[in-house]
Structure 1
Amino acid sequence: MGENSNSEEKVRFFDGVKAEFKKITWPDRQSLTRQTVAVALITAITGAFIALIDYFVQYGVNFLTK
């Protein structure tokens, strides 16, 4: 008896999840592409900036320890 109500709860839960997914406003392909490119560019620029800072800090530490 307990397993039956447990499985009913699972079915209701997933029915609720399905209903909530129908409410989502998904982005169109053009918007998704622009946002993906923007995130990739910002990530690359940030990575290059951090690498540059790391290089200069490493150079400075090596200069001070020699």
Structure 2
Amino acid sequence: MGEKTKNNAPKTSWFKGLKAEFKKIVWPDKKTLGKQTAAVVFVSVVLGAIITVVDIVAQYGIDLLVK
């Protein structure tokens, strides 16, 4: 039977790697963050409105079929 190999690296090296990866992240500035936030809110509101309209139309259609 084959033996499983264990990774005996200390946990500190994992945290060092995590810290190194976080240093690679390019965080957006306030202006970009504001624009992206506004875009997300706008798209969410528009999609919510579209879903509401589709729901109302579907409910109206179902009511016509049932009555």
Taking structure 2 as the reference length, the TM-score comes to 0.82
Identical counterparts, % of pairs: 45
In structure 1, stretches of 5+ residues that fail to align are none
Q: CA RMSD in A?
A: 1.2
The AA in structure 2 aligned to 1:57 is A
What residue identity is the alignment partner of 1:13?
W
Between the two proteins, the alignment pairs up a number of residues equal to: 60
TM-score, structure 1 as length reference: 0.83
Q: C-alpha distance in 1, partners of 2:41/2:66?
A: 37
Misfit runs of 4+, over 6 Å: none
Residue 23 of structure 2 is matched in structure 1 by 22
Alpha-carbon distance in 2 for matches of 1:32, 1:47: 22
**Which of the pair is proportionally richer in helix?**
1
1:48 aligns with 2:49: yes
Tell me which amino acid in the other structure corresponds to 2:38. V
